Structure 1
Amino acid sequence: MVAVNFSSNTILSTPVLQRARGVGRITASQAGGKTRLATLFQEGCGKIRLPNTHASSLEAVLINTAGGITGGDHLQWGATVAPGGHLVLTTQACERSYRSTGDFGRVHTHLEVGAGAHLDWLPQETILFAASKLDRTLEADLEDGATLTAIESVILGRDAMGEDAADALLRDAWRIRRNGRLIHAEATRLDATSAERASPSLLSGNRAFASILHVAATSDTAEALCARLRTLMPGTAPIAASANGERVVIRAMAPTGLALRRLIVPVLIELTGAGSLPRLWHL
């Protein structure tokens, strides 16, 4: 027999903090000209709800019942839409990344879009609070003729409270593939330095920013779409669009979250397969 002695000091010096874990996955099939639910899996704080709509597409709302993300939390979202289908994914509200005393909170999303199908990845903004740490990844695999509209937007602190979350940290990576071939990769990183917040080539004092990607079926379609989008953008606003091959990329910045929405909503409406945004997006 081996005697093991535990002291109260040892126990108190190594606290084990509760952390949130959540998984949500949805698969959509296509039948009778309408996209329908095939499978749904949810675990922990990751929940998915399916509101009734009159559209032929299937809309799913992702919910983090933990109420936000902090250091050590881990959320995983997954979605698959069958060939010819149309799936719309959004969130119940803005996600919140709270103060972390240690590790990064992690959010990983994996999307699969069948041949000729369309998927709208339309989460609402993520609000970074002071001293928060968020590591986020988005992966998407598209088949022939599949199209995708995806947005990730960030607000640094709460507008009403006058916060700027100057010490918040963010790592955000995207990898988009067509038939296994990488067609789009990007990475955003905030290191809580004054230069990245104030520099004219970076945030230029703005506290809200968004990246939007649309993958079209062909490069000609992408070029025409980019030209239409530019007509919707105010000439003096910090928002711009570019087309490269089958991709259209839009970047936007604004001093507040509300100002950012006013810039990006007309663009998103033009890009989505339904020509409208989910009801939860309406203020």
Structure 2
Amino acid sequence: MAKRLVSLACEPVPGLGLQRAVGVGRLSVRQLDGRTRLNRLYQEGCAKIRIPKTYHGSALEAVVINTSGGVTGGDRMNWRFEAGPGTHLMLTTQACEKVYKSSGGVAENTISLSVEAGARLAWLPQETIMFDRAGLSRSITADLAVDAEALFLEPVVLGRRSMGEHLEHADLHDRWRISRDGRLLHAEDFHLSGPVRPVLPQSAVTSGRSAFATLLFVSPRAEGFVTEARRLIGPGGGVSCWNGKLLARVTAEDSFELRKILLPLVSLLNFGAELPKVWSI
């Protein structure tokens, strides 16, 4: 009888799917007495938002948290942030987001940002770590007022080399759509799919390096930072600037080397604010 009970417990239940993580987070800020203050906050499922006490001048720092501890195929995260007129909002993540091996489908992460007149916003998540056979579809959509400024960063690590991890197969799709005053300013799609080891050594991908980042700085002051940004990045990437935006690509051997480049680079472009405290924990 005992053996029969064990057998029944291991059999799949018809119609019962795998448990998936779903999270929705919303936050908006407004200006009050010359400082950026919380206006609205909504969180659902595994999506949490925390606002630590910081000393960034007029900036408000919000920390995005996925309490499920990572994502895998079929998980869905949806975030929306709004910076009201004249505000300064800095967004980051509590830790690196880990994308685990998928048993089917991809994880979806949707980020929507709104930056109103005279506002400044920085989207500065920590690294996304891709494990072998992981799948992630991520979209960043931002609407900026004509005089708003914004800084966007997305660092990615394709397996942690210090842990002996190497990617053979992965599915990563990054989609960015950034508009200013209702007109498309920046659009890009980065897509790795299937066996990735043969394509990573290509110079148009990562030149064989396992860590990389894309940084976009939208500001009428962008051109003034090009020379220093190129010096900080060195031979591991490049910087272009046109039409009021600075675009940087960075590659490195691992996440530690990537951070050594990103920390001073973000400090240069982060509107005079300190880096998020969670980056140093």
- TM class by smaller structure: over 0.9
Q: Distance in 1 between matches of 2:218 and 2:102?
A: 35
Q: Distance in 2 between matches of 1:11 and 1:262?
A: 48
- Aligned pairs for 1:1-283 (under 5 A) are 12=13, 15-55=16-56, 56-191=58-193, 192-216=195-219, 218=220, 221-234=221-234, 237-283=235-281
Q: After superposition, what is the alpha-carbon deviation per residue over 1:215-265, rounded to whole angstroms, capped at 9, x for unaligned?
A: 00x2xx22212123223333xx31211101111000000110000111111
Which amino acid in 1 is paired with 2:19? Answer: Q
Q: Distance in 2 between matches of 1:123 and 1:229?
A: 19
Which amino acid in 2 is paired with 1:43? Answer: E
Contact 1:119/1:149 (8 A) holds in 2:
yes
Contact 2:26/2:41 (8 A) holds in 1:
yes
How far has the Cα of 1:22 moved from its partner? 0.1
* Compared CA separation, residues 195 and 11, structure 1 to 2 (3 A): closer
Q: Distance in 2 between matches of 1:264 and 1:11?
A: 47
Q: Distance in 2 between matches of 1:274 and 1:222?
A: 14
Q: Distance in 2 between matches of 1:200 and 1:82?
A: 40
Contact 1:210/1:252 (8 A) holds in 2:
yes
Q: Distance in 2 between matches of 1:231 and 1:203?
A: 19
Structure 2: unaligned runs, 5 residues or longer: 1-7
Q: After superposition, what is the alpha-carbon deviation per residue over 1:150-200, rounded to whole angstroms, capped at 9, x for unaligned?
A: 100110112331112221210000000012100000111111333321223
How far has the Cα of 1:144 moved from its partner? 1.9
Cα RMSD after superposing both structures: 1.6
Q: Distance in 1 between matches of 2:259 and 2:212?
A: 10
Structure 1: unaligned runs, 5 residues or longer: 1-7
How far has the Cα of 1:273 moved from its partner? 1.7
Contact 1:239/1:263 (8 A) holds in 2:
no
Which amino acid in 2 is paired with 1:224? Answer: G
Q: Which secondary structure state, in structure 1, belongs to the residue aligned with residue 168 of structure 2?
A: coil
Which amino acid in 1 is paired with 2:191? Answer: R
Task: Work out the number of aligned pairs and report it.
Answer: 270
* TM-score, normalised with respect to structure 1: 0.91
Q: Distance in 2 between matches of 1:63 and 1:54?
A: 21
Q: Which secondary structure state, in structure 1, belongs to the residue aligned with residue 223 of structure 2?
A: helix
Which amino acid in 2 is paired with 1:118? Answer: R
* TM-score, normalised with respect to structure 2: 0.92
Q: Distance in 2 between matches of 1:274 and 1:37?
A: 21
Q: Which secondary structure state, in structure 2, belongs to the residue aligned with residue 198 of structure 1?
A: coil
Q: After superposition, what is the alpha-carbon deviation per residue over 1:81-132, rounded to whole angstroms, capped at 9, x for unaligned?
A: 1111100000000000011011110000000001111000000000001110
Q: Which secondary structure state, in structure 1, belongs to the residue aligned with residue 199 of structure 2?
A: helix
Contact 1:122/1:151 (8 A) holds in 2:
yes
| Identical residues among aligned pairs (%) | 43
